């Protein structure tokens, strides 16, 4: 059996329609530019839940990638794919895009592998593509720096009701103060 040239990263989301696909294509572009010996692919944990996913890939993700200069027609045209045990076994590094959403699916469908996954906190909304880009860049930086996985984090769960007025007061008190002024001293009356 031949040796693999690249290590493998698997990005997981629910429907493999835009979050994990965006991360996969962007990561492969970044890894290629940086000369990283890593290759990404993506899969969905529950394609049956993506009843509103039309077409092979979300148009918003394709447009965001094209805006960044990425035109991967073959990657854009591929239909969403369900993750398998073989996919999980092939991967050297696994990233699930949303811990609260994907950890229960992994525990239900692939319990032996749920603890081997790095979890991000990316919601299921088209406006999160910038966050995915930051996460991909952070991952690439960690791979360059020796490949340290993030510590497992628990999503914050608030069980007590928060008074919205009190919450706003706390935010207002902790906001930084910016002071503007006009200085003319030593500038011959010019500001």
pLDDT one-digit tens code per residue, 143-152: 988 766 666 5
pLDDT of residue 89: 96
Prediction pTM value: 0.74
The answer to whether residue 75 is domain-embedded is yes
CATH of the domain at 135: 3.40.50.2300
Q: Is the pLDDT of residue 11 over 90?
A: yes
In percent, the amount of the chain with pLDDT more than 70 equals 74
The answer to whether residue 189 is domain-embedded is no
Q: Is the pLDDT of residue 13 over 50?
A: yes
Alpha helices in the chain (DSSP H): 19-34, 59-67, 73-77, 85-90, 99-109, 129-144, 164-174
- Tell me the pairing of strands 38-44 and 7-13: parallel
Region 132-152: what's the mean pLDDT?
84
For residues 61 and 18, the answer to whether their CB atoms sit within 8 Å is: yes
Region 134-161: what's the mean pLDDT?
69
């Amino acid at each position: 059996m031949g040796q693999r040239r690249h290590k493998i990263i698997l990005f997981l989301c629910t429907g493999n329609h835009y979050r994990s696909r965006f991360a996969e294509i962007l990561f492969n572009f970044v890894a290629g530019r940086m000369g990283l010996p890593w290759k990404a692919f993506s899969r969905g944990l529950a394609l049956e839940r993506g009843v509103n996913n039309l077409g092979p890939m979300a148009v918003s993700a394709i447009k965001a990638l094209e805006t960044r200069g990425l035109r991967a027609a073959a990657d854009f045209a591929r239909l969403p794919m369900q993750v398998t045990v073989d996919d999980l076994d092939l991967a050297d590094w696994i990233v699930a895009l949303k811990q609260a959403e994907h950890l229960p699916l992994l525990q239900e469908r692939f319990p032996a592998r749920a603890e081997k996954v790095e979890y991000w906190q990316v919601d299921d909304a088209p406006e999160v593509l910038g966050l995915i880009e930051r996460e991909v860049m952070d991952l690439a930086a960690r791979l360059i720096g020796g490949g340290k996985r993030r510590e497992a984090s628990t999503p914050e769960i608030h069980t007590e009701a928060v008074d919205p007025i009190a919450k706003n007061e706390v935010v207002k008190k902790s906001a930084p103060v910016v002071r503007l002024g006009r200085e003319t001293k030593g500038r011959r009356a010019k500001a």
